[in-house]
């Protein structure tokens, strides 16, 4: 079996393999969400220490996006610290502020750390929900919308798709920063 570096080289991609320890700060972590939080944190640290990037775009591997997603997100972030493009959740509903399609400015990346909260009873506050709380606490300028076409896969044959569209009034209210902060903080 080829390793990541060999696969990248054979595909003629310009890419870097980033090695990181899963749950290095949480040796007794039980939730797999720590894997995601640790990966996002490794990418954040890499972007800050090894690049001059003004923005970092997070795209989940179980999703596909329109080819212009980078240009769309770069246009949408103008005047904001963070922009989220909503996407269909695997089972039902829509996520409007998940990190599956999110662009963050360098200035915000310098002020936060990706992590999740895991409680003794096994409940977890996901890393993108903790990100929302941190952004609220920092007074960040956040834009949420359905900016890019995306398809979220639950399996090789099951997926859900969303096209760019305006955010309706009910979703705007339920996804307002102070509402989300109050709901997530009480979880």
Q: What does the alpha-carbon distance between residue 40 and residue 77 come to, in Å, rounded to a whole number?
A: 19
| pTM score | 0.84
Residue with the two structure tokens 């775009």: 57
DSSP 51-73: ---SEEEEE-TTEEE-TTHHHHH
Q: Looking at the predicted structure, is the pLDDT value of residue 1 above 50?
A: no
Domains and CATH numbers, the chain: 31-185 (3.90.550.40)
- What pLDDT is attached to residue 4? 78
- Give, as one character, the DSSP assignment of residue 12: T
Helix/strand/coil for 84: strand
pLDDT in tens, 58-75: 999 999 999 999 999 999
Residue 86's closest CA among 106, 107, 63, 67?
63
């Amino acid at each position: 079996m080829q390793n990541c570096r060999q696969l990248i080289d054979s595909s003629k991609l310009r890419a870097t393999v980033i090695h990181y320890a899963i749950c290095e700060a949480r040796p007794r972590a039980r939730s797999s969400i720590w894997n995601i939080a640790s990966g996002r944190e490794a990418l954040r640290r890499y972007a800050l220490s090894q690049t001059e990037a003004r923005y970092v775009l997070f795209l989940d591997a179980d999703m596909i996006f329109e080819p212009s997603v980078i240009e769309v997100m770069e246009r949408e972030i103008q005047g904001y610290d963070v922009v989220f493009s909503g996407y269909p959740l695997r089972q039902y509903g829509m996520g409007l502020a998940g990190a599956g399609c999110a662009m963050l400015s360098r200035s915000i990346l310098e002020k936060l750390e990706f992590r999740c909260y895991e409680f003794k009873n096994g409940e977890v506050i996901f890393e993108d929900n903790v990100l929302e709380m941190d952004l609220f606490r920092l007074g960040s300028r956040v834009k949420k919308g359905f900016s890019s076409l995306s398809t979220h896969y639950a399996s090789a044959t099951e997926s859900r798709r969303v096209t760019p569209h305006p955010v309706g009034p009910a979703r705007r209210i339920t996804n307002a920063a102070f509402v989300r902060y109050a709901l997530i903080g009480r979880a």
